[in-house]
Amino acid sequence: MNELEAVLKLKKGEEEGFNFFFDKYYNRLVAYIVTFNNDKEKAEDIVQDAFINFWKNRAKLDPNKSPKSYLYSITLNRFIDTINKNKKEQLYLSEIWKRSLESVIEEDDFVLEKRLKKMNQILVNLPPKCKKIILLNKIEGLKYKDIAVSLGISIKTVESQMRIAFKKIREGFEEDSYFFLLFGRGFIKQSYYFKDNLPSD
CA-to-CA distance for 23 and 37, rounded, in angstroms?
Answer: 22
**pLDDT above 80: residue 12:** yes
Q: Which domains does the chain have, with CATH numbers?
A: 3-106 (1.10.1740.10), 110-194 (1.10.10.10)
**pLDDT above 80: residue 201:** no
Which tops the pLDDT comparison, 94 or 80? 80
What pTM was computed for the model? 0.49
Mean pLDDT of 161-184: 70
Query: What pLDDT score does 181 carry?
Result: 42
Query: What pLDDT score does 76 carry?
Result: 83
Query: Which of 136-162 are b and which e, b meaning 16 or more Cβ less than 10 Å from the residue's Cβ?
Result: bbbbeebebeebbeebeeeeebbeebb
Of residues 182, 172, 188, 186, the one with CA closest to residue 103: 182
User: pLDDT, tens digit, for every residue of 102-121?
Assistant: 555 555 555 666 777 777 78
Instruction: For residue 185, give the DSSP letter.
Output: T
Of residues 77, 17, 33, the one with CA closest to residue 53: 77
Of residues 188, 194, 35, the one with CA closest to residue 126: 188
CB 189 within 8 A of CB 31: yes
